[in-house]
Structure 1
Amino acid sequence: MSELHTLRANGIRLAYRTWGDEDAPPLVLLHGRGSDGADWDPVAPALAETHRVYAPDLRGHGGSDRPGEYAFEAMRDDVVAFLDTLGLDRAVLAGHSMGAVVAYLVAAEPSARPAALVLEEPVPPDPEVPPRVVPSGPQGDETCDWRVIAAVNRWRNDPDPAWWDLLAGIACPTLVLAGGAGSHIPQDGIAAIAARVPGARLVTVEAGHLVHQERPADFLAELRSFLPAPRRP
């Protein structure tokens, strides 16, 4: 069972869940849009057999603050501050969908230096065609701050192409997990991310967008094959 915590990082309160032995090597999981750290419940207990697992609620989600600013750069800075506050040097960093975008931005930061990076169904920095509707107010069925949806949709419609260069600067071992034909994320874009990150391994698990939920055993098998056997401090 997970434990719930909060801390202040980058000027806001972040809620987060933990699993596993406090002395085990750290593994940080970043959820997708509209979810929270509980999204990792299908796989976190198994990952906690070898790692201390952390799953923060990203800003605007779950029990974390809703400051109104939801640019990916702000989420990146939150996660960097989260790692610094908890002293998680050389953590494995894994993200799904929106969380994978945050994860690859963190990995591109020279100060972050994750031990390894796992990108599950990462969103490529290519314009969405046709463009996504950007809401101007709450729609009534949001599972997160509606302004997160607006910010991410604006980015999907007009991402900074320079982010492709950021991917090329990631220096840690990287696993890219694609969901195959059942996913709404362009699979050629995911393949392009893997091709851009030096030495990245691309694996397709035919599960659709939610690989860790739809096929948790395969997700865990791929992570265990990729990650080196952890050594306790």
Structure 2
Amino acid sequence: MNPRTVGAAILGMALAGPAMAASPIPSTTATTTYHRTEVDGVGIFYREAGPKDAPTIVLLHGFPSSSRGYSTLIPLLATRYHVIAPDFPGFGQSDAPSPAAYSYTFDHLAGTIDALLAQLEITRYTLYLFDYGAPIGYRIMLAHPERLQALIVQNGNAYHAGLGAKWAKIAAFWADPKAHPEVVDAFLSFDATKERHLAGTSHPEVYDPDSWDDEFAHLSRPGQREIQTALLYDYRTNVASYAAWQAWLRHHRPPTLVVWGANDPSFIAAGAKAYRADLPDAEIHLLDAGHFALDEKNDEIAALILAFMAKQFPADPPAKN
């Protein structure tokens, strides 16, 4: 074939777009990789994807899940951003030392994750806070306000108004833990593990049963009852910290996106709306979903995040961490 003909054919395929290309080169930046490292003597597992010279988004998971809960979100964000999603000590693939060897408090979890970010030389980031990830993230933010570039909150509570009815029973456990073992029994039960996903949804068919089966299997491992009981008891320190977190938000005014499963019975929709008092410029979106909103609103939440991040980094320039 005449070289000019070959060249014209190649140019035609390029102009026609990727659907016409014979062998398009796939992008690898959104491919998730899996890592373990030791932080303060504890093995920490984390997922990573995206270009390392792009702005970083740190995804902080909730109870009783792990970074696996972000497995469908990560590839959608990693086409443009560097994404890190760690497992907290006691969760997922990270080590779960006994409470005698590791103090399971939110202060300690936050310190470990903060040390992980420092070890990875990630010193500028957007934090995504969900459930237990919220009190961990707030502690990191208060310790290093200069490192936070933007904030994304998904059913991550910081207001008394956001606490659903079940928290009255948990408050009784805080007041006298030995008198209320039934609270821990219910908290760690299979029914509660399943209900955390399905409560508030009108589309149960989009929820993967493996999610709660795997979470309950994890909670049933030796030592997990002691670990999770310690964290449930320590959660009272988060509620006591709400006023300090709110004051921090009012003072620093980080660019903030709130995406909230509005049918969550644990962290109710009022908790999303309450952010407006301290962050009047925040984007707040109430979604028709429950606590694990990503289970059924993954694409919608990803689109909201990408639009929000584009406003923070309009030219999307490479940014060294």
TM exceeds 0.5? yes
Preserved contact between residue 44 and residue 94 of structure 2 (Cα < 8 Å): yes
Distance (Å, rounded) in 1 between the aligned partners of 2:258 and 2:226:
28
Preserved contact between residue 179 and residue 204 of structure 1 (Cα < 8 Å): yes
Deviation at 1:116, TM superposition (A): 1.0
Q: Which has the higher strand share?
A: 1
Residue matched to 1:100:
134
Distance (Å, rounded) in 1 between the aligned partners of 2:115 and 2:279:
24
Deviations 1:115-144, CA, capped at 9 Å, x for gaps: 111111013464721326135xx8794525
Residue matched to 1:4:
34
Deviation at 1:206, TM superposition (A): 1.4
Structure 1 or 2, whichever has the larger Rg, is 2
Deviation at 1:95, TM superposition (A): 2.1
**Which among 286, 290, 307 is matched to residue 204 of structure 1?**
286
Residue matched to 2:273:
191
Distance (Å, rounded) in 2 between the aligned partners of 1:28 and 1:57:
11
**Which among 151, 164, 184 is matched to residue 134 of structure 1?**
184
**Which among 65, 70, 74 is matched to residue 95 of structure 2?**
65
Deviation at 1:197, TM superposition (A): 4.7
Preserved contact between residue 158 and residue 239 of structure 2 (Cα < 8 Å): no
- Counterpart amino acid of 2:269? Q
Preserved contact between residue 57 and residue 126 of structure 2 (Cα < 8 Å): yes
Deviation at 1:149, TM superposition (A): 2.4
Residue matched to 2:47:
17
Q: Structure 1 residues 25, 110: closer, same or farther in 2, change over 3 A?
A: closer
Q: Report 1:38-57 matches (<5 A).
A: 38-57=68-87
Deviation at 1:183, TM superposition (A): 4.2
Q: Secondary structure at the match of 1:177?
A: strand
TM-score, normalized by length of structure 2?
0.64
Deviation at 1:57, TM superposition (A): 0.6
Deviation at 1:54, TM superposition (A): 0.9
Deviation at 1:203, TM superposition (A): 1.7
Preserved contact between residue 180 and residue 187 of structure 1 (Cα < 8 Å): yes
Q: Structure 1 vs Structure 2: percent identity of aligned residues?
A: 26
Preserved contact between residue 108 and residue 167 of structure 1 (Cα < 8 Å): no
Preserved contact between residue 59 and residue 127 of structure 2 (Cα < 8 Å): yes
Unaligned runs of 5+ in 1: none
Deviation at 1:24, TM superposition (A): 2.2
Q: Which 10-residue stretch deviates more, 218-227 or 156-165?
A: 156-165
Q: Structure 1 residues 183, 139: closer, same or farther in 2, change over 3 A?
A: closer
Q: Secondary structure at the match of 2:129?
A: strand
Q: CA RMSD for the aligned pairs?
A: 2.5
Distance (Å, rounded) in 1 between the aligned partners of 2:125 and 2:238:
28
Preserved contact between residue 158 and residue 246 of structure 2 (Cα < 8 Å): no
Distance (Å, rounded) in 1 between the aligned partners of 2:238 and 2:58:
25
Residue matched to 2:218:
143
Q: Structure 1 residues 157, 75: closer, same or farther in 2, change over 3 A?
A: closer
Q: Structure 1 residues 111, 7: closer, same or farther in 2, change over 3 A?
A: farther
Distance (Å, rounded) in 2 between the aligned partners of 1:78 and 1:13:
10
Q: Secondary structure at the match of 2:91?
A: coil
TM-score, normalized by length of structure 1?
0.86
Distance (Å, rounded) in 2 between the aligned partners of 1:44 and 1:75:
22
- Counterpart amino acid of 2:317? R
Residue matched to 2:248:
169
Unaligned runs of 5+ in 2: 1-30, 174-182, 191-215
- Counterpart amino acid of 2:113? V
Preserved contact between residue 125 and residue 161 of structure 1 (Cα < 8 Å): no
Distance (Å, rounded) in 1 between the aligned partners of 2:317 and 2:268:
37
Aligned pair count reads 231
Q: Secondary structure at the match of 2:46?
A: strand
Deviation at 1:48, TM superposition (A): 0.3
